[in-house]
Amino acid sequence: MVADNLVGILITKADDQPVKNIKELRQILDNRDPYEPLSLTFTAPNGESKTYVFR
C-alpha cells in the first residue's frame, strides 16, 4: 500500500460507534476488552467506506 493512498482517509467508526475525533476514538479503545476483535470503519474523501476487523 502506498502511503499517499491514505491521504484524507478518516476513521469514522470503532466497534460500530461513531468517531468524530481522536478523543472519542481513545475513549472507545480504553473501554473495550483488548482481547475481543476490533472493527474500524475508514471513510475516504470520495465518501467510500470500508470496515475492517482486527483480531
Say if residue 2 is exposed, middle or buried (CB neighbours under 10 Å; 0-12, 13-18, 19+).
Answer: exposed
Phi, psi of 45 (to 5 degrees): -55, -25
Topology of the domain covering 3-54: Pdz3 Domain (2.30.42)
Average pLDDT rounded to a whole number, residues 1-11: 74
DSSP assignments along 2-55, one per residue: -GGGGTT-EEEEETTEE--SHHHHHHHHHTS-TTS-EEEEEE-TTS-EEEEEE-
Percentage of the chain exceeding pLDDT 90: 87
Query: pTM for the whole thing?
Result: 0.84
Confidence of residue 7 (pLDDT cuts 50, 70, 90): confident
What mean pLDDT is reported for the chain?
92
